[in-house]
Structure 1
Amino acid sequence: MGASPKQRMSAVERRIQALQLHLAGVDYRTIAKQVGYADGAAAQKAVDRAIEESIARGHEDIDTIRTREVLRYNRLQAAHWGKAVKGDTKASEIVLKCMAGRERLLDLAAPKKINIQAQQLGDEILAVLSDAAGDDVAHGAAP
């Protein structure tokens, strides 16, 4: 029979605590005593597993991470929306920050205008440089 959800959570919490102690410079034998592992080797194994889990979480698909963050913004905004529309300034600030965060994550901002004349000038410069390079090659000059 497998471990219960409560036991699994306890194991995760212990690994996190062991990792925190390890990062603080505590030796494995002391970690084992403080967190409740059989010995230093078991504590080291727990720390290694916690590091692997942390790395795996860091490699999540960016779209999955973005979606989760948008859902968090939605939930936070929903929690403050009622107060915001009734005039609560603090709630309004939170709602606006949620909206701005979602805009940033989903790249919803209107595209920035570019100066068309500057773009045309850049194209003309590139054309002149390209022609000059072609003339040098035609006359035997080294590129």
Structure 2
Amino acid sequence: MSASKAKRAEVAERRKNAIQMVLAGLDYETIAERLGYASRGAAHTDVDRALHANLSDVKKEAGTLRDIQARRYHRLLAAVWPKALKGDLKAVETAARLTDRVVKLYGLAEPDKLDLDVTGQITAEDLMEIIRNAPADDADA
């Protein structure tokens, strides 16, 4: 049985509040405590679900969160860039990881490979839907 309308509204409100707290710079431990999540992992999972959901009331906050996170990565990159240019290998590695995070954040990376097990015909539209729904590589996240 699906959740009641009141329960869905409650979940949507809590997700909205969680995203606003992330935007404000709070850590997931604090968010979990303040909003009643079982753990920081549960808070993180719920924020992640909200970012991927098509809930109209959180779309703007999700886009803002992506932009703020990208700005944070760019600030960190600016801090290590001079050392990286001077050949500091640790700074080069850090700069590469930060750049990779921004690329992943905005979905700019092309897939390394595309595994399709298809019989029959597939349209370009079907292929684009498969690509859009492919799981993201979150190993570095």
**TM-score greater than 0.5 by the shorter chain:** no
TM-score tier after normalising by the smaller chain length: 0.3 to 0.5
- TM-score, normalised to structure 1's length? 0.41
Of structures 1 and 2, the one with the larger relative CO (CA 8 A, separation 6+) is 2
**TM-score, reference length from structure 2:** 0.41
